[in-house]
Chain A
């Protein structure tokens, strides 16, 4: 048998009619038909069960099936097999019912020829395949909708629900289809915002909005359904449950607020502690001094030494308090980011350090032009100020030189360098030096509390930049600072 032949099962009890069909099918050359004939429904059902044909030609007047019973039986047996109903009667009602009940076509035996029959069979098969494809597609869609956390809904032109599906319905405790037939004006009575949106949809508008239903938040996206001439015949919409996302955002927002509040508290605390600490410190300093002045004569060297040490210690304490204060202020996000010219800052620093530079025969040089950055004056000043000061302080050269320049500019940031010909820093300490009150040298060698670089780090990071160092003992030190570039169209964060 030809594998390409269309496998036709003819269920026809009248031999004469069967013969007619056989001959008609044999006539056609284009599409070979392989015909098998049975004379009763039961045989037909057996055949279908064992080897489903491509199409069934079903006579309505069978001994074991009256009217359309046979059609129903075949469909129950094999829903995918297309059925063409044959009958001797030209009965429109029956025809309509047959097609309604799933037959692909209805042919009147005396009124067809071989071409029509052949065509009817081919179309029946074709249509059935299309129907199948459509059905599968719908099934897939249905599965998707049923499993996606969305709500798909549609209404008629009066606002009565015609469709309500999707796993999103679970979130509001509704079964798919449960609210079909009910009016949205009842379902959402009291929720003016939703009703307003629905009205707009029914008036022909596409609307996107966020709504709240039964305590859950949804992104709603809907538009009008239109029929033939473009008249609105209902609305179709999809709701996506965004409750979790909204909750997460709110939680994040709350956390940020709390964090900000905590920071403020810490800052106030640090400020008032530092401030309050200064008062008794002042008394200690003052009276140590007075003691020294008034009783110097009566004190021996030891006594004077004690006082001297007290004085120095309170000096250190004072400086540490001030640096802690400065540090706490620097950590906060800058209020207003403006254009800052590092070249100007370095020039100002040069002026401010004038005396110190002269004393040490030191100089500050700027290499090339420094691009403007986005930041705030105070932090940029403190950054360059401390780096330059360090470059001069930790320096045994005859002519200490600090050079400031720009290393590179890319990705919206400028990397500056502050290079000195000083004593250098051993690589094993390159991280440690940024700690608060971290010192690498004995106090007799180099003075200072060690907070300078901590201040630089805090200031730079508050502006969104980074600082790092390249150095080796006796080989000078270069600090690198990256800061966001000032760009004309830049918007302060």
Chain B
């Protein structure tokens, strides 16, 4: 009777396992919802350039397989971060703000990009994103070249964040690596 009332430690283990399994599944489900997370404007800062994110027309997000959300103030910062990743397979999804619907996201790989000259985007590249199939000729959209996601990535890899300004050490900063600079 005593053993039944107080079962030995061993018999408790299956319950613990089930509990752990349930928690694991719950966590997995949470992690699986890979949609974009709203940016807290004027509070969150960009994971590439460290600037506070404040313009809802230009933001971006990168979500990793482990569920970590990286937020960016501009398309050029998202693309630069992505281009410098050592393991691009770790990326679950990429999102960019819809210029015509500030604060909402569209998948980065499907979006159309306009590269215009002149002031506007937070890092000065003049890149903005539109939902595929939207009216790029609308009066509210600055005129410029149309690019795809891979062309945007190629451009920032080639020229850096802004024309004539090559990023130095930004990737190392993120990795926290000192080895790269040990001459």
B is bound to A:
no
B binding-site residues for A, Cβ under 8 Å: none
